[in-house]
Structure 1
Amino acid sequence: MKLLRRGDSDNPDKNHVEVTESSASSSETTAETAGKTASTPGKGRPTPKRREAEAKRRGPVTPAPLTAKEARARRKATRGSKEERKTAAAERRADAADRRARMLAGEDKYLMPRDKGPVRAYVRDLVDSRRNLVGLFMPLALILIMAMFLNPIIQSYVTLGMLVMMLFMAIEGYVLGRMINNRVRERFPDTADGGFKLGWYAFVRASQIRKMRAPKPRVGPGDAV
């Protein structure tokens, strides 16, 4: 409440006017505040979930077919004409053949993860430049399978020979792994690739027939690496 000054006690009309103006100013301020509050109403609805918003952006979903005939008709309509399918199949075959050719050529981009990197390429070259006894593993395994249909005495000799051969292969695999790891440490002293994993990689490569190795050998037997 506004106090009246002593000098205005003789003029009650003036005091009444000041009180009235103060009340009017307060009413106008309250009205403006209420107007601002009324002008910014809430959304009036909950915020939609992310899944609902994405579904709304994608649009309506095509209902599932009710019959097998309808499903076949829908597949036929979406897969295009016969010529388009032939062209797409030919393009896929050509792309697959190109990727395989690049992989066999040793391009790092198209190799499997186990074959990527200069260390693995160097190991492949070391193995391919040697004549390994373990390379006879697959032919000898085929001979053992064929010997199962021969005379029991011949089977026993073949089995004994295979056991001796496998013993020599295991020894050669151990020596090959040690040699590969030593050469890799000399050529790539900062590499973390090594140990049993690298030795096993070299052994598996050496046990394959040369013409069936992938990537294809880049060096011949006896070549310097």
Structure 2
Amino acid sequence: MFRRNSTEPETTPTHDKVGGKGRPTPSRKEAEAAARARAKVPRTRKEQAAAQRGARGDTSRRMREAMKTGDDRYLPARDRGPVRRFIRDFVDARFSFIELMVPLLIVSMILGYNGSTVQLGNTLLFTTLLVIIVDIVMLRFRLRRELARRFPGETPKGATLYAAMRSLQMKFLRLPKPQVKIGEKLPETYR
């Protein structure tokens, strides 16, 4: 048999788990204490109010994150579902004249204050409003056609109002945040 020299240090291979949790497993005592702390029911009104405030804060934080990322689980009920997601993407992927509305309204206000250009300012204002109305009507017809093609069994109740309200907002102010760019091709399935 081969005898190892006592002066040589023993080397044992260490295996670090790739993608591990990054912390040691808690002992049974620690895990039970944490479970008891989570299960502890608030006894006073003050403790109950604090627990409710914490739960509301957590829920609102999740909703804010969902509004940024488009996560369907935590969105408000009015924004949930594949049909609403398609409507949001449909509105966000098209250029609308409504995005030019605020600058044009500012120009018409400036022209309206000057005595000699009041007529020009009013003409610009009414032309802007007319173009926006035509844009919303065209949006309605195109959206209805796409909804009938992509979601044949669904009723488009409330779809026009939802799309119009979203299109009336400036793109950077829309919530949930736009997930597509202008002109981007939309996926065929949203289920």
Global fold match (TM > 0.5):
yes
Structure 2 counterpart of 1:168, from 102, 125, 131: 131
Where do 1:143-222 residues align within 5 Å?
Answer: 143-145=107-109, 150-194=113-157, 197-222=158-183
TM-score scaled by length of structure 2: 0.62
Do the aligned partners of 2:104 and 2:124 also contact (CA within 8 Å) in 1? no
**Contact 2:140-2:160 within 8 A present in 1 as well:** yes
Residue 205 of structure 1: CA displacement?
1.3
User: What TM-score do you get using the length of structure 1 for normalisation?
Assistant: 0.54
1:102 shift after superposition: 1.6
Name 2:189's counterpart in structure 1: none
Q: Deviations over 1:104-143 (max 9, x none)?
A: 3222232233222111110111111111112223343444
Give the structure with the higher percent helix: 1
Equivalent pair of 1:136/1:207 in contact (CA under 8 Å): no
Give the whole-Å Cα distance in 2 for the aligned partners of 1:136 and 1:170. Answer: 13
What is the deviation of 1:93? 5.0
SS in 2 for 1:125: helix
Aligned pairs for 1:98-113 (under 5 A) are: 98-113=62-77
Larger RCO of the pair (alpha carbons < 8 Å, separation 6+): 2
What is the percent sequence identity of the aligned residues? 26
CA deviation string 1:47-76 (max 9, x = no partner): xxxxxxxxxxxxxxxxxxxxxxxxxxxxxx
Question: What value does the CA root-mean-square deviation take over the aligned residues?
Answer: 2.9
Structure 2: 5+ residue runs without aligned partners?
1-43, 187-191
Matched residue SS, 1:136: helix
SS in 1 for 2:155: coil
Of 154-163 and 92-101, more deviation after overlay is shown by 92-101
Count of residues in correspondence between the two structures: 142
Matches within 5 A, 1:1-225: 79=46, 93=57, 96-145=60-109, 150-194=113-157, 197-225=158-186
Point out the structure with max Rg over C-alpha. Answer: 1
Name the CA distance, whole Å, in 2 between partners of 1:191 and 1:88: 37
- Amino acid aligned to 1:218: Q
In 2, Cα distance between the equivalents of 1:96 and 1:200?
25
